[in-house]
Amino acid sequence: MDAFRSGNPRTPAFQVKRYPFYLLTRLISRYNTIIDARLRAIDLDIPSWRVLMILGEKSPRSARDLADTAVINLSTMTRIMQRMITAGLITKTQSETDARVSMVALAPEGEERLATARQVTAPIYEHLVEGLTADEFEQLVALLNRLHDNLEPLAI
């Protein structure tokens, strides 16, 4: 059987378990269930963890860049940021070059929480990639990026 046909919802040969989006959703759902419990134990939720991870790579960054990188719409990101500011995890200031732009940075408490979150989530990541070779991991990342790029022209 043609491998692509069994994953194509247009064909009679379609099988949900061969549909890449089902498989990705199943993976993300299981990951989120596992990671959520670990994060809640350190008083974090998944969106806040995502913000901390992104700011851990580069801080400060604009609120728009943070939302885009986190794949969260700006209005939802604004609510997440408000909660995180109240919790003392991040700070928000105006850009020195453009007063219309909000700059978001890790606060000292956010840096500490990020370090703790990395410790509690690392074992999950390590277990997830266990048994993959470096080449397989690189191939996985490349394939996921290619699928994303293939959807780009269809994005509204």
**CA 13/CA 15 separation, integer angstroms:** 6
**What pairs with residue 123 in β-bridges?**
none
Average pLDDT on 121-134 reads 96
Report percent pLDDT > 90 for the chain. 88
User: Which pLDDT value is given to residue 49?
Assistant: 97
Average pLDDT on 39-53 reads 96
Reply yes or no on whether the pLDDT at 1 is more than 70: no
* pLDDT band, residue 155 (cuts 50/70/90): confident
How far is residue 55 from each of residues 36, 122, 140, measured CA to CA in Å?
19, 17, 25
Neighbour tally for 53: CB within 10 Å: 15
User: Which pLDDT value is given to residue 2?
Assistant: 77
Reply yes or no on whether the pLDDT at 56 is more than 60: yes
Within the chain, which residue ranges are assigned CATH 1.10.10.10? Answer: 42-154
Place of tokens 């080449």: 135
**CA 156/CA 154 separation, integer angstroms:** 6
At 71-92, the pLDDT tens digits run: 999 999 999 999 999 999 999 9
For domain 42-154, the CATH architecture is Orthogonal Bundle (1.10)
User: Which pLDDT value is given to residue 3?
Assistant: 79
DSSP state of 16: G
Average pLDDT, whole number, for the chain? 94
DSSP state of 31: H
User: Which pLDDT value is given to residue 4?
Assistant: 86
